[in-house]
A and B are shown apart, each in its own frame.
Chain A
Amino acid sequence: MEPASKLDVETIRADFPILQRMIGDKPLAYLDSAATSQKPVQVVEAMRHFTEQSNANISRSVHTLGSEATEAYEGARAKIAAFIGAPSPDEVVFTKNSTEAINLVAYAFQNAAFDPGADPRLKLGPGDEIVVTEMEHHANLIPWQQLAHRTGATLKWIGITDHGRLDLESVPEVITERCKIVSFTHVANLLGTVNPTSQITARAREVGALVGLDASQSVPHIPVDVTELGVDFIAFTGHKMLGPTGIGVLWAKADLLDAMPPFLTGGSMIKTVTMERTTFADAPAKFEAGTPPIAEAVGLAAAVDYLDKLGMANIRAHEKELAGYMLEQLETVDGLTVIGPRVPIGRSATVSFTFEGVHPHDVGQILDAEGIAVRVGHHCAKPTCDRFGVNATTRASGYVYNTHEEIDRLVEALGQVRKVFG
């Protein structure tokens, strides 16, 4: 029997038609929400309703549909701001995804390098340092690595302990007076580690560096309040939090957004334009050139409503319990090694593992034949793989709709893997 969850998982599951799908003759067990979550009917319906009834471009039409669309889009912005505890909706910038949100910040630094009048916080050059961690998704590594290459700044990183935690002891040494920006993952996508933030943000403040979080794996799963976190920016994406693909969010403090030069330029981000020059709109419009993902914003707002209704604290409790069960059960499988923290403390319900003598691709294939969807590969975190001396892992990740029974099926199917490759 399952211990009491704070979530009514059976009722939740009824909102996700895809969870009724059969894979061959096996019911789907979807354990890949860290890659992308499934969408409840409420999200699909909100997008359908908007598209059927109110579709129009935003901000430039006086007609009824245009005003409804603008209201829906800006309403979504306000909803998301409230969801993450942002002081103002104007601090929420819609992007395509987390990757674009992080690039937006990295390119602000790069563009500032060409502008003599740029805010000194954004000035980067040889001798300056950028700090990330060894457990980043490539989305929060490569933009900074490339920025360092282009500006002559140095990229440094906080390492990982054997237990899959950040090596916090090294923080004072890694983050020095030369550091201009620290950007690190809140919850690691391969290891499942939930990183404590206070020590790193305090050190960043001490040396006068900006500090940001890749919150792609945290905003969907744990209560996130940007004011409490005391960071300068966070990036997250809609499709991992029950919302649609094609929309992500950059939240940044108003004064930072004001100081940042735009990333993409074009329509909708201007104040005045002549053939010679342009003045830019205030944030967030300054960073939203071109027609934005409007229906997707509506979908994301519906996803936030859904999460709010469940309660983020309840979701966190459910997943903590799920993580504990997953770890406990997986540890019983012969030849299986968990890569990442082995206790459900400071940990998400994302568990990576290797299986002695069997490549993750083969594990994933056999699990698929049992209807179980997991992710296999390097999970866009090659340096993390290297740190643990593996080429790839199998990763099972849970969310609001996952049950113990699905974990049991996973464990049982791993026995099947052993049979084929034993």
Chain B
Amino acid sequence: MNLDELYQEVILDHYKRPRGAGLREPFEGESHQVNPTCGDEITLRVHVEGDKVADVSYENVGCSISKASASVLYELVKDTTVDDALARLAEFTALMNSKGQSEGDEETLEDAVAFAGVSKYPMRVKCALLGWMAFKDALVRAEASIPGRTDA
């Protein structure tokens, strides 16, 4: 078992110095997600301006994988369009479900490709996806709360 593959420098760095952590106003959608097997939790807020993800803010308790993943998520989707954010979500989810068969596209996923190794550890995939599930849910709630947006 190669631990370096799982705990890449990039992941440990995001874990020790999480980007964008803390809950902020304003926000249109908020989601609370729990991993019932380990008790990890995240509360994540999304602030949408027009078709842009203007901010993602969060508070979480959990392991290095789940915390680093939320930090990477923040960097990837903040200030992108909602459509691009959803594309990253789909791409990251696919990478996590790849069972070690995919390396991920560094062009689009940037630091998140460091999580490719996690996909070989079925028990940890849920950790990596917790923040992304919260993001997806918060985005749906945000879209629902914005009048005139029904395409999401």
Instruction: Return chain A residues, CB-CB under 8 Å to B67.
Output: 359
Assuming the A-B contacts A359-B63, A420-B12, are A365 and B38 also in contact, with contact meaning beta carbons closer than 8 angstroms in the complex? no
Give chain A nearest CB distance to B3 CB in angstroms.
5
Instruction: Return chain B residues, CB-CB under 8 Å to A420.
Output: 3, 7, 12
A114 at the interface (CB under 8 A from B): no
Q: How large is the interface on B (under 10, 10 to 19, 20 to 34, 35 or more residues)?
A: 10 to 19
Instruction: Return chain A residues, CB-CB under 8 Å to B6.
Output: 365
Give chain A nearest CB distance to B122 CB in angstroms.
12
Instruction: Return chain A residues, CB-CB under 8 Å to B41.
Output: 391
How many residues on A have C-beta within 8 angstroms of the other chain's C-beta atoms? 20
A369 in contact with B3 (CB, 8 Å): yes
B75 at the interface (CB under 8 A from A): no
B80 at the interface (CB under 8 A from A): no
- When C-beta atoms are compared, the residue in chain A nearest to B64 turns out to be A362
Instruction: Return chain B residues, CB-CB under 8 Å to A365.
Output: 3, 6-7, 121, 124
Instruction: Return chain B residues, CB-CB under 8 Å to A360.
Output: 38, 63
B79 at the interface (CB under 8 A from A): no
B150 at the interface (CB under 8 A from A): no
A359 in contact with B12 (CB, 8 Å): no
Give chain A nearest CB distance to B94 CB in angstroms.
23
Give chain A nearest CB distance to B22 CB in angstroms.
19
Instruction: Return chain A residues, CB-CB under 8 Å to B3.
Output: 365-366, 369, 420
A163 at the interface (CB under 8 A from B): no
What separation, in Å, do the CA atoms of A368 and B123 have in the docked complex?
12
A385 in contact with B63 (CB, 8 Å): no
A378 at the interface (CB under 8 A from B): yes
Assuming the A-B contacts A391-B39, A392-B39, are A23 and B1 also in contact, with contact meaning beta carbons closer than 8 angstroms in the complex? yes
Kindly supply a per-residue 1/0 record for chain A positions 376-417, scoring 1 wherever the CB is within 8 Å of any chain B CB and 0 otherwise: 111000100100000110000000000000000000000000
Assuming the A-B contacts A24-B1, A359-B64, A362-B64, are A378 and B7 also in contact, with contact meaning beta carbons closer than 8 angstroms in the complex? no
Which among A23, A361, A391 is the interface contact of B124 at CB below 8 angstroms? A361
B39 in contact with A382 (CB, 8 Å): yes
B89 at the interface (CB under 8 A from A): no
Assuming the A-B contacts A361-B124, A362-B63, A362-B64, are A391 and B40 also in contact, with contact meaning beta carbons closer than 8 angstroms in the complex? yes
Question: From residue 73 to 104 of chain B, which have CB atoms closer than 8 A to chain A?
Answer: none
- When C-beta atoms are compared, the residue in chain A nearest to B40 turns out to be A391
B1 in contact with A368 (CB, 8 Å): yes
Assuming the A-B contacts A24-B1, A359-B64, are A376 and B7 also in contact, with contact meaning beta carbons closer than 8 angstroms in the complex? no
B65 at the interface (CB under 8 A from A): yes
Give chain A nearest CB distance to B8 CB in angstroms.
11
B152 at the interface (CB under 8 A from A): no
B18 at the interface (CB under 8 A from A): no
Instruction: Return chain B residues, CB-CB under 8 Å to A391.
Output: 39-41, 61-62
Kindly supply a per-residue 1/0 record for chain A positions 345-386, scoring 1 wherever the CB is within 8 Å of any chain B CB and 0 otherwise: 000000000000011111001101100000011100010010
Instruction: Return chain A residues, CB-CB under 8 Å to B62.
Output: 359, 361, 391
B125 at the interface (CB under 8 A from A): no
B127 at the interface (CB under 8 A from A): yes
Instruction: Return chain B residues, CB-CB under 8 Å to A358.
Output: 64
What separation, in Å, do the CA atoms of A385 and B124 have in the docked complex?
21
Give chain A nearest CB distance to B61 CB in angstroms.
5
Instruction: Return chain B residues, CB-CB under 8 Å to A376.
Output: 38
Chain B residues within CB distance 8 Å of chain A:
1, 3, 6-7, 12, 37-41, 61-65, 67, 121, 124, 127
Q: Can you offer 17 A-B residue contacts whose CB atoms are under 8 A? A: A24-B1, A359-B62, A361-B38, A361-B62, A361-B63, A361-B64, A361-B65, A361-B127, A365-B7, A365-B124, A368-B1, A377-B39, A385-B39, A392-B38, A392-B40, A420-B3, A421-B64
